[in-house]
Amino acid sequence: MEQLVKLIPLFPLISFALIGLLNRRLTKTHAAIFACTGVLLSFIDSVLIFVSQSSHFHPVEVSIFDWISAGNFKASFSFLLDPLSSIFLLVITGVGFLIHVFSIGYMKDDDGFRRFFAYLNLFIFFMLVLVLGNNFLVMFIGWEGVGFCSFMLIGFWFKDQKNNDAAKKAFVMNRVGDLGFLIAMCLIFFTFGTLNYTQLFQPGFMSQFSFDATTITIITVCLFIGAMGKSAQIPLYTWLPDAMAGPTPVSALIHAATMVTAGIYMVARTNVLFSMSPDTMQLVAIIGTATALLGASIGLFQNDIKKVLAYSTVSQLGLMFLALGLGAYTAAVFHVVTHAFFKALLFLGSGSVIHSMGGEQDIRKMGGLKKHMPVTYTTFLIGTIAISGIPPLAGFFSKDQILSEALSHNPTLFVLGMLVSLMTAFYMFRLFFLTFHGKFRGTHEQEHHLHESPFTMTMPLVVLSVFAAFAGFIGFPHALGEKLGIHNWFDHYLEPVLGKTASHLSLSTELTMMGVTTALVVIVILIARHFYVTKATLPMAENVERPAVQKVIYNKYFIDEFYYNFITRPLDALSAFLQNFFDNKIVNGLVNGFGQVVVKGGAFVRQLQSGNINAYAITFVIAVILIFSIFIF
């Protein structure tokens, strides 16, 4: 078992090394085969582990080597396999493999084909390290590692400085979060003397130490700041929409299915700490809700197919944090899983569309793709229904669980959550209708080029759509499930790590809620249909003057401009001031001034040395007289 666990991250690492080292000496096909095999092997490995552990889970600890130790600080490079990491392993390697396969077709004509797969493999490696790590520091390796891979992949087409700017922005914003993570680690070590999960989360371990509630609140807030950066929550979310500059499979894998959910994984992993601090939980719930609302509302007016999906991701991540903040850790993880399926599906579908459109991403220029790309169309529809939350597709179950948790905790949050899911349904169907229905609005050339994507691209779509359709049943609603005799396998599976989900609604409330939400969602979809199919309205063009509210939302609430004017520019100005004035004039001026004083002093004293013998003689005599007078008097 231990060997199997060690192997999981090793496969992608090996294929990364192979592709990276051999690079040009490999044909594209071989590179693709290496890359996919690496991930596939990890997937098989994860499945093996999962199956062998399915009856009763024994957490496995694997220590590989001592990494950093100094004084009483010890952090070994070690892995922990428990239900939580096992779920994430399956998602990462499974979805990762499909996206690898998809990329073969998508990146076929790109010069950086090998490079792309190398990065993708490296990313998978770091992501696996992230979820397998048995202490915070190993998680941090993965945490920073995926950030780095994300940087490389967002700026994959490095000739365009806009991509590089987006990549840098993503990395810097992630780093802001990482600082929170780093400080949290320092505090945890300072308070508990260890960073090791198994030790730290052992029942009764923390009670041996004396600490006050504030410490825990600070620790969890710092951890949450880390999560904000990685999972694109307010105020650190602006990098994620920009990150769409990368190739679409990257958006699917990194910026939808896996990396951005690292924040949720982290909070779920440290749920013991979070549960100890109600204040932080409240903060998490509020930030989550706010982000969900913000992302969804911006998504309503976006016209770039990938940007819509990006804001949708921001919004869905917000919902997950809402669940976390309510203490419903399993609900959040459940949503991570279903979201991974349908969002990866949607992104890949959009990739297929973009591929077919020859790089066009503006939905105002699409339309009527239904007949050209039947497979993409069908799978995209499944993904759209799934994310909108219509039973019995996957999104329904996970969203329902979150909403029912919200209802039993705080009706306001429930209403807001509801609002988010309605907006989601609206913008997703808007996107869907504009892309696939109606008449084609692109250029003639593009229309000629339209085609269904090759098998390597459609196969992952089909597989993912199957999951997006049926994955929900692993987390069947409790009350209804009891009645029907369907067990909520997912909650039960994660119980050893995440604890029992606290509250269950009564059967009648649950059914009413389901009915109402579904009805509302259907109504919203019909409205969208009315607008974009029946009336065939188009979103406004770029340069049209919009009504005030819409203008603000369309421009993403001017948050980017706000950051630029109130953070970036002042800091740049400060740097320039420090360099040009303070450093050059004051600090260096003082040092040089010191030198100048000596030089000037010398120049002054030098005057006495006139060279005139008479003057010397006079000085001499006066001095002698003075000395004698001192002796005499």
Residue 264 neighbours by CB under 8 Å, 6+ apart: 227, 231, 317, 320, 321, 324, 332, 333, 336
Shortest separation between residue 596's beta carbon and other proteins, angstroms: 12
Figure out which of the listed residues 1, 516, 536, 591 binds other proteins, where binding follows CB under 8 A.
591
Decide whether 68 or 522 has the Cβ nearer to other proteins.
68
Decide whether 163 or 465 has the Cβ nearer to other proteins.
163
- Reading the block at residue 34, the tokens are 């290496």
- The distance from CA 435 to its chain's CA centroid, rounded to whole angstroms, is 27
Decide whether 158 or 566 has the Cβ nearer to other proteins.
158
End-to-end CA distance of the chain: 103
160 scored as a contact of other proteins (CB under 8 A): yes
* CA–CA separation, 174 and 231 (whole Å): 9
Phi, psi angle pair for 229, to nearest 5°: -65, -50
* CA–CA separation, 182 and 197 (whole Å): 16
Decide whether 541 or 608 has the Cβ nearer to other proteins.
608
22 scored as a contact of other proteins (CB under 8 A): no
Figure out which of the listed residues 117, 171, 197, 321 binds other proteins, where binding follows CB under 8 A.
171
* CA–CA separation, 164 and 459 (whole Å): 32
Figure out which of the listed residues 282, 503, 534, 579 binds other proteins, where binding follows CB under 8 A.
579
300 scored as a contact of other proteins (CB under 8 A): no
Shortest separation between residue 340's beta carbon and other proteins, angstroms: 25
14 scored as a contact of other proteins (CB under 8 A): no
Figure out which of the listed residues 82, 178, 360, 405 binds other proteins, where binding follows CB under 8 A.
178
| Residues 500-539, mask of contacts with other proteins (x by CB under 8 A) | ----------------------------------------
Decide whether 125 or 380 has the Cβ nearer to other proteins.
125
Residues 107-126 that bind other proteins (CB under 8 A): 115
182 scored as a contact of other proteins (CB under 8 A): yes
Which of 247, 102, 236, 253 has its CA nearest to residue 160? 247
Figure out which of the listed residues 40, 122, 131, 187 binds other proteins, where binding follows CB under 8 A.
187
Figure out which of the listed residues 207, 208, 614, 629 binds other proteins, where binding follows CB under 8 A.
614
Instruction: Tell me which stretch binds other proteins (CB under 8 A): 176-184, 201-209, 397-405, 514-522.
Output: 176-184
What secondary structure does DSSP assign to 167-217, as a single string? HHHHHHHHHHHHHHHHHHHHHHHHHHS--BHHHHTSTTSGGGS---HHHHH
Helical ranges in 437-454 per DSSP H: 444-449
183 scored as a contact of other proteins (CB under 8 A): yes
The Cβ of residue 360 has, within 10 Å, a number of other Cβ atoms equal to 18
Q: Which residues pair with 68 in a beta bridge?
A: 75
Figure out which of the listed residues 610, 623, 626, 627 binds other proteins, where binding follows CB under 8 A.
610
- Reading the block at residue 274, the tokens are 């979070």
Residue 215 neighbours by CB under 8 Å, 6+ apart: 187, 191
- Amino acid at the residue 626: L
155 scored as a contact of other proteins (CB under 8 A): yes
Residues 134-153 that bind other proteins (CB under 8 A): 137, 140-141, 144-145, 148, 151
Asked whether 491 and 330 are in contact (CB, 8 A), the reply is: yes
Shortest separation between residue 128's beta carbon and other proteins, angstroms: 14
583 scored as a contact of other proteins (CB under 8 A): yes
Decide whether 191 or 555 has the Cβ nearer to other proteins.
191
596 scored as a contact of other proteins (CB under 8 A): no
400 scored as a contact of other proteins (CB under 8 A): no
Residue count, binding to other proteins (CB under 8 A): 62
Instruction: Tell me which stretch binds other proteins (CB under 8 A): 78-86, 277-285, 324-332, 584-592.
Output: 584-592
Shortest separation between residue 272's beta carbon and other proteins, angstroms: 21
Decide whether 522 or 618 has the Cβ nearer to other proteins.
618
Asked whether 291 and 314 are in contact (CB, 8 A), the reply is: yes
- The distance from CA 468 to its chain's CA centroid, rounded to whole angstroms, is 21
Decide whether 557 or 594 has the Cβ nearer to other proteins.
594
Decide whether 158 or 455 has the Cβ nearer to other proteins.
158
250 scored as a contact of other proteins (CB under 8 A): no
- Reading the block at residue 70, the tokens are 């100094």
> Quick one: three-class SS letters along 102-120?
HHHHHCCCCCCHHHHHHHH
* CA–CA separation, 468 and 338 (whole Å): 7
Shortest separation between residue 222's beta carbon and other proteins, angstroms: 9
CA distances from 256 to 18, 85, 298, 458 (A): 27, 18, 17, 19
* CA–CA separation, 433 and 526 (whole Å): 11
Decide whether 172 or 466 has the Cβ nearer to other proteins.
172
Decide whether 502 or 618 has the Cβ nearer to other proteins.
618
606 scored as a contact of other proteins (CB under 8 A): yes
Asked whether 260 and 254 are in contact (CB, 8 A), the reply is: yes
Decide whether 69 or 565 has the Cβ nearer to other proteins.
69
Asked whether 96 and 39 are in contact (CB, 8 A), the reply is: yes
* CA–CA separation, 54 and 47 (whole Å): 10
Residue 573 neighbours by CB under 8 Å, 6+ apart: none
CA atoms within 13 A on the CB side of 219: 26
572 scored as a contact of other proteins (CB under 8 A): yes
Residues 33-92 that bind other proteins (CB under 8 A): 65-73
Angle at 575 between CA 574 and CA 577, to 5 degrees: 65
Interface contacts to other proteins, rule CB under 8 A: 65-73, 115, 137, 140-141, 144-145, 148, 151, 155, 158-161, 164-165, 168, 171-172, 175-176, 178-179, 182-183, 185-187, 189-190, 571-572, 574-576, 578-579, 583, 587-588, 590-592, 595, 606, 609-614, 617-618, 621
